[in-house]
Chain A
Amino acid sequence: GEDVEQSLFLSVREGDSSVINCTYTDSSSTYLYWYKQEPGAGLQLLTYIFSNMDMKQDQRLTVLLNKKDKHLSLRIADTQTGDSAIYFCAEKPGNTGKLIFGQGTTLQVKP
C-alpha cells in the first residue's frame, strides 16, 4: 500500500544543520516533495526531486534520495529561527493525480 513515514519532532540550535528524514513505500513514485507549513498557514512548496535523481541542492536545502531503501531526507544548512515550522514529505505514486503525505516533522530551532 501507500504510506509515508516521518519522525514527529526535531530540535536543533540556530546555526546547526537540520536533517529531516522520510520513508515511503511506493516504488512507482515519480516525484517526491518537501513542503513547509508555518502556524495557521497553508503548505509552501520547498523543493521536489524527480525519482531518477540522487540529490538536489537549492541554496541552504539539500535533498537526498535513496531509491533502493525508499528513503528521502531534507538537510537545512545554517538553520535559522525562521525555519521553525512543520515539514511534510509527500510522494506522487505512478500516474495518479494524488499526493500521499507524511504526518509532518515539527522543527524547533533554539536560539
Chain B
Amino acid sequence: DGGITQSPKYLFRKEGQNVTLSCEQNLNHDAMYWYRQDPGQGLRLIYYSQIVNDFQKGDIAEGYSVSREKKESFPLTVTSAQKNPTAFYLCASRQTSGTSTDTQYFGPGTRLTVL
C-alpha cells in the first residue's frame, strides 16, 4: 500500500513546547515538502527538500526546522519560536526524475493545536 503517511492526525501541545510532526513516504520520491494551511487560506510552503541531506527554506520557515536523513522521511519540528503554530500541516512528495509531471502528492495532514 503505497503513499504518504502523516502522524499523528491530531496533536495538542502546550505553549512553549517544541513538537515534531512525522511524514513518511514509500513512493521512492526524491523531493518532499511541508505546507501550512490556515482557515480560508491557501497553502504556504514552510520547507522543502529535493535530495537527502539537503533542504531549503520556503516562504514561512521562521520558527520551524526540518531534517532529511532518509529518503523516506521528512520530519518537521515546530519550535517555541513559532508565534502562531496552531494550523493544519500538510506534507507532500514528488518524483523528480524520468517522465515526471512534477505532480506533488499529499499526505492526510496533521492538525496541531497549541493550548
Contacts of B104 in A (CB 8 A): 45, 99
Complex: how many Å from CA A50 to CA B102? 11
Hey, what's the 0/1 contact readout for B84-96 against A, CB within 8 Å counting as 1?
0000001010101
Contacts of B107 in A (CB 8 A): 42
Interface, chain B (partner A; CB < 8 A) = 4, 6, 31, 33, 40-43, 45, 48, 50, 58, 90, 92, 94, 96, 101-109, 111
Interface residue ranges of A84-111 to B (CB < 8 Å): 88, 92, 97-99, 101-104
A41-B109 contact given A98-B45, A103-B41, A103-B42, CB 8 Å threshold: yes
Q: Which of B6, B42, B58, B103 contacts A48 (CB 8 A)?
A: B103
Complex: how many Å from CA A41 to CA B103? 18
A31-B102 contact given A88-B43, A97-B50, A103-B41, CB 8 Å threshold: yes
Q: Does A44 interact with chain B (Cβ within 8 Å)?
A: yes
Complex: how many Å from CA A104 to CA B4? 22
Q: Is the CB of B103 within 8 A of A101?
A: no
Complex: how many Å from CA A98 to CA B56? 11
Q: How far is the CB of A66 from chain B (nearest CB, A)?
A: 21
Complex: how many Å from CA A45 to CA B109? 15
Q: Which of A30, A31, A43, A48 contacts B106 (CB 8 A)?
A: A43
Q: Is the CB of B48 within 8 A of A104?
A: no
Interface, chain A (partner B; CB < 8 A) = 4, 8, 30-31, 33, 35, 40-45, 48, 50, 88, 92, 97-99, 101-104
Complex: how many Å from CA A43 to CA B90? 8
Q: Is the CB of A97 within 8 A of B109?
A: no
Q: Which of B41, B48, B106 contacts A97 (CB 8 A)?
A: B48
Q: Is the CB of A98 within 8 A of B48?
A: yes
Q: How far is the CB of A102 from chain B (nearest CB, A)?
A: 6
Contacts of A103 in B (CB 8 A): 40-42
Q: How far is the CB of A78 from chain B (nearest CB, A)?
A: 26
